[in-house]
Structure 1
């Protein structure tokens, strides 16, 4: 009776609310039955949440990821209520390092340079997402099947992202996207009358970097598959690289360069390494020393990334000099959420909010100081160094080797690109990197009892 009354009064809106309510109830039922659903949901939502803010205003959609993660932990606890949750899979060195990082981020609340709690809340993911998502990954992603599902979810959203980007490029942006451009984004996304594609990401820089990341991971991951799966991941990889290209983001080219070079090194094969070096050399010469295909706007813009005299590079270097002088007496930085353009909505008159950071590492330096930057770099290089050692000298299963190599190479590419763009810590790249860190820190779990992939071992051994 109540439902009929709501539908009668609100008509189409009432039907929509009813459908939404039923979906939420069904989702919660499934989530508390299968808590891993929350993990995959966070990965998918991670792609969409920032783009949705262009269509839905006035709602704190950024907290959707927080909500899903909290519900996932609750579902995990309730599903194991009688026998209790086994947290031991997360008892790893990287978890403790992430915990130290979280404490340092919380300490930023009392940083004498910090002026805004709201800005800190906006940047909370820097510490909280890293720590808690690593724990979820350790608890959930412990078999090849679960890892494959993660890559399928990642791949599907990446395909959708590139297709949406192609729509923007060839058909045009929609009303909400145009309103976003008109509000100021056009200054950096419409250059000489040409659109830098951003899809449903926060900006073109994040779109290009993430799609390049996906391209590296998917192409290498496809080597572990046959049939439909191989075709799927190959398509994901190709569309990922194409999305990177149409983003017009020069710094994103470092993702395939750094990622593929890492992969060639991980193979420990002189022939493969020699071929890789030759390929990358040709790639470099094409962009650095030729003007081939300069009629293509995207290629021409990518080519400018190899010009040391490029004006925007000089501006970035000058900004770093300004920050170096300012931060010399501030070892803890200026506070989380206090640097770059994004800080202007909280601190419109603050010094750091008017100095562009551009680079992810410069952003960390500005907000968390030299202490934060050094620890951040230590964690990244420790993880990738230890994981690379395991893949090269400890792991014997070729399928596991290739899957871990795909993730390590993708992470290495993002780390390289983050020198020029703030890619690493922004959605959707952030959660993907955090999941990657947990997975490559524990490759042994995938090698144990790897029976489901045995038919593919002979193929992988030849790669």
Structure 2
């Protein structure tokens, strides 16, 4: 006797999923949860993207880069709490996919994972995990800062496994150029049209208006967390695309990259972030050291000296407030905010003298005031390194600096003596110089661990 097997036909299954999806959208809309409604509506497209990326996992690198770059505006406009958890899920899911595909005999260059940044990131992760037992630590603040624990390890590991060729790196930089243009356009819209309602309310609610809506100047932040983050990133893209354009063989690409570099420089100035000028200057300094080309080294050195002399020893353009404000970065002893910052650092040094492991993870920034840290409510800081020093102590900041400085030095050594492909070497030179400038700027601005910079610089 034959047995009839019942099954659900493909059209029936599709119709059932469609009905369920529509029901979820209607329910979310009625509850005025538009973020969930949008997510459900986007699920079919997301599933298609996932399937395509599973066939070529290296494409995840571009997807992750785009998501990270637009994370801040996504959070700002959706006004949804807990989106950082979504970021965690996406990053760890990609790593899980890589592991599963490795088990299914997809070849990934796991040997490349043995490098200073990835291994150092693992050590830093262990150290930060142990911070939970710090006597002055807050468990809530520690959980809130979970990204700092594993981001260095996670991002560097995924990047070395997926970015395996010159073609991928060049495509990633070209994608970055498009994203940079979007950020520049948004910054120009803020300047010439004004802040929209969401941005204005965000400044009012967070207290950003105190530092961004000044009597003499308005500081613009585009799609970034704040003007300091935006300004330093524009300094980075100014250097990156300036150097990339210099070495580009295609005249059209050369003009395109030089145009983005010039627009980035202008955007850096409209942020009013004084410390951002260090990024292109630091980039020029490193470029002069590692280019191994006498003409380029001389031109970079002369250019850097001219910029420094212009700001430090002349008053040309003093009538322009943006130039006048940027000039104060070269005369720190006459800058009131710099003097206050140095006094705060002295107080922190005294406070942390008997705390080699710091106050506790998540208790070193302005956002940590919600956790009741006596230190951050009385002694603020405006630097990434000071923030890390406050949270993890002298042990943590030394470990952090050794990892990043060691990675940069090793990268420069490889660029100078190991990489034979000229096109790849030029792109990596541009990246290394830009990141060096960002690392210098991080001393004066607390942006290096924020979205999108914190993850972007680990690529």
| SS in structure 1 at match of 2:285 | helix
> Residue 7 of structure 2 corresponds to which residue in structure 1?
none
The answer for unaligned runs of 5 or more in structure 2 is 1-14, 31-36
- Please say if 1:254 is aligned against 2:278: yes
- Please say if 1:199 is aligned against 2:207: no
Which of 292, 295, 300 is the matching residue for 1:271?
Answer: 295
Contact 2:117 2:152 in 1 (8 A): no
What aligned pairs does 1:27-106 form with structure 2 within 5 A after superposition?
27-83=49-105, 86=108, 87-106=110-129
User: Aligned-pair distance for 1:356?
Assistant: 1.7
Q: Aligned partners of 1:4 and 1:340: how far apart in 2?
A: 47
Contact 1:77 1:84 in 2 (8 A): no
User: Aligned-pair distance for 1:4?
Assistant: 6.0
> Residue 352 of structure 2 corresponds to which residue in structure 1?
327
User: Aligned-pair distance for 1:375?
Assistant: 1.4
Q: Aligned partners of 2:107 and 2:414: how far apart in 1?
A: 28
Contact 1:319 1:357 in 2 (8 A): yes
Contact 1:218 1:406 in 2 (8 A): yes
What aligned pairs does 1:7-406 form with structure 2 within 5 A after superposition?
10=26, 19-83=41-105, 86=108, 87-114=110-137, 116-183=138-205, 184-222=207-245, 223-307=247-331, 308-347=333-372, 350-406=374-430
The answer for unaligned runs of 5 or more in structure 1 is 436-463
| SS in structure 2 at match of 1:72 | helix
Q: Residues 71 and 263 (structure 1 numbering): CA distance in 2 closer, same or farther, change over 3 Å? A: same
Q: Aligned partners of 2:335 and 2:86: how far apart in 1?
A: 39
User: Aligned-pair distance for 1:164?
Assistant: 0.2
| SS in structure 2 at match of 1:53 | helix
Q: Aligned partners of 1:25 and 1:393: how far apart in 2?
A: 44
- Please say if 1:432 is aligned against 2:456: yes
| SS in structure 2 at match of 1:338 | coil
Q: Residues 5 and 142 (structure 1 numbering): CA distance in 2 closer, same or farther, change over 3 Å? A: closer
> Residue 438 of structure 1 corresponds to which residue in structure 2?
none
Q: Residues 345 and 122 (structure 1 numbering): CA distance in 2 closer, same or farther, change over 3 Å? A: same
| SS in structure 2 at match of 1:331 | coil
User: Aligned-pair distance for 1:176?
Assistant: 0.6
User: Aligned-pair distance for 1:217?
Assistant: 1.3
Q: Deviations over 1:68-122 (max 9, x none)?
A: 21221232234344226642231234322221111111111111221x2221222
Q: Aligned partners of 1:35 and 1:325: how far apart in 2?
A: 50
Q: Aligned partners of 1:12 and 1:359: how far apart in 2?
A: 41
Q: Aligned partners of 1:82 and 1:17: how far apart in 2?
A: 30
Contact 1:76 1:85 in 2 (8 A): no
Contact 1:36 1:72 in 2 (8 A): no
Q: Residues 73 and 192 (structure 1 numbering): CA distance in 2 closer, same or farther, change over 3 Å? A: same
Q: Aligned partners of 2:169 and 2:191: how far apart in 1?
A: 33
Q: Deviations over 1:27-48 (max 9, x none)?
A: 3322333323332222112122
- TM normalised by structure 1 equals 0.87
Q: Deviations over 1:351-394 (max 9, x none)?
A: 23432221111111111100111111111221222222222233
Question: In terms of mean alpha carbon deviation, does 249-258 or 275-284 score higher?
Answer: 275-284
Q: Aligned partners of 1:237 and 1:174: how far apart in 2?
A: 26
| SS in structure 1 at match of 2:77 | coil
Q: Residues 240 and 312 (structure 1 numbering): CA distance in 2 closer, same or farther, change over 3 Å? A: same
Q: Aligned partners of 2:96 and 2:193: how far apart in 1?
A: 44
> Residue 10 of structure 2 corresponds to which residue in structure 1?
none
Contact 2:274 2:329 in 1 (8 A): yes
Q: Deviations over 1:376-427 (max 9, x none)?
A: 1111221222222222233333223212211110111011111111232222
Larger radius of gyration: 2
- Over the aligned positions, Cα root-mean-square deviation in angstroms equals 2.3
Q: Residues 51 and 193 (structure 1 numbering): CA distance in 2 closer, same or farther, change over 3 Å? A: farther
Q: Aligned partners of 2:29 and 2:129: how far apart in 1?
A: 42
| SS in structure 1 at match of 2:310 | helix
Question: In terms of mean alpha carbon deviation, does 321-330 or 98-107 score higher?
Answer: 98-107
> Residue 12 of structure 2 corresponds to which residue in structure 1?
none
Contact 1:224 1:403 in 2 (8 A): no
Alignment length (residue pairs): 433
